[in-house]
Structure 1
Amino acid sequence: MNNVTKKYTIWIWVLSIVIPVAVAVLFTVRIPGVERLGFLPPIYASINALTAVLLVVAFVMIRKGKIRVHEALMKTCIVLSVLFLVMYVVYHMTSDSTPYGGEGVLRYVYFFILISHILLSIVIIPFVLITYVRAITGNFPQHKKIARITFPLWLYVAVTGVIVYIMISPYY
């Protein structure tokens, strides 16, 4: 492992641990004097939807050999994911979590989707970072190998984020 790769590996580990821990800690913080920011959930759900669409377009572009377009789209997806995370945390720092009000089988479906979404949103962090680093360091064989795992996981997280929003939105 060369020095550049070692430096990136350290940052990947740090971010993969710090981001979920910071999110969990920030969930316990309330911003005093700030009203509930109820306009944020449809915005960050839309960001998830846009991320899902761009991930699919990026996949199509790389299949067509349009590397620069693929690269720009993937960087956009990373920026959108960061933007989503910031809005999500800010919303939860100003608002209590909304309980799901559905009943029956839908309640189990909702919680299955929510829990898998949350767990995979944590798991996806190192996958996205490793995939990105392998691309920017020119290690394309290894980039392609891990992208085959990262892409469906990231797409699942983006799509289920939208589904969770749609299912919980009547109860906001």
Structure 2
Amino acid sequence: MEYTLNKNTAKAKNYKPLVWALTLAINGLIIFAFFLPNKESFKNYSFSYLPLLNAVMNGSTFIFLLLALYAIKQKNIKRHRNFIFAAFVCTSVFLLSYLLYHFTTPSTKFGGQGAIRYVYYLILITHIALAIITVPLALISIGRGLNMEVALHKKITRWTMPIWLYVSLTGVVVYLLISPYYGK
């Protein structure tokens, strides 16, 4: 299939300032949410359903990314783009839900013992570290794709896709491992 530019994408836009502003803002908000001192003012509200929603959004992101990968292997750019947008929407809903939960609710401590504790923390640490870099990678990848900068898009998505898949899948795994300890 031939890659073509239409009149709306003929002029590439510079997404770099937006990508870095969003990256800093999102990661800053996440860090701030964990250290917000007055979470007690929300004790009359129950946000206990949000971790499950977060896991569902992460799982949906994972599925949409796999479908996007399959679509591009079939050279179906339109379907690929639609699945990427669906993954991005799920990730955005996850992010909003995640921030709401952590702005209002004290952190849950993992209660597992023995080998599972080491497995949990290994998955959690790699999940967090890679989630931090997924934000700019995904935004840059999407920007390059929208601009039909195919060579640059392919170059970065070789990194973005597997990392974003890992982060979305391990988000579900982290939820499954810690869910027995919510509310304790």
TM-score interval for Structure 1 and Structure 2 normalised by the shorter chain? over 0.9
Q: Mean Cα displacement is larger for which, 65-74 or 151-160?
A: 65-74
Matched, 1:32 2:63: no
Matched, 1:47 2:57: yes
Query: May I ask how many residue pairs the two structures share in their alignment?
Result: 169
Secondary structure of the residue aligned to 1:65 is: coil
Match of 1:167 in 2: 177
Match of 1:14 in 2: 21
For the 8 Å contact 2:34–2:107, the answer to whether it is kept is no
What is the TM-score with the length of structure 2 in the denominator? Answer: 0.87
Structure with higher helix content: 1
Match of 1:96 in 2: 106
**Could you give the per-residue CA deviations for residues 97-131 of structure 1, whole angstroms, max 9, x where no partner exists?**
11101011110110010111111111111110110
| 1:101-140 alignment, distance < 5 Å | 101-140=111-150
For the 8 Å contact 1:45–1:165, the answer to whether it is kept is yes
Greater Rg over alpha carbons, structure: 2
Q: Mean Cα displacement is larger for which, 26-35 or 135-144?
A: 26-35
For the 8 Å contact 1:27–1:89, the answer to whether it is kept is no
Moved over 4 A (4+): none
- Name the CA distance, whole Å, in 2 between partners of 1:162 and 1:129: 22
Structure 1 segments unaligned to the other structure (5+ residues)? none
Amino-acid identity (%): 37
Aligned residues: CA RMSD: 1.5
- Name the CA distance, whole Å, in 1 between partners of 2:64 and 2:20: 26
| 1:82-93 alignment, distance < 5 Å | 82-93=92-103
What is the TM-score with the length of structure 1 in the denominator? Answer: 0.93
- Name the CA distance, whole Å, in 1 between partners of 2:69 and 2:24: 28
- Name the CA distance, whole Å, in 1 between partners of 2:34 and 2:90: 21
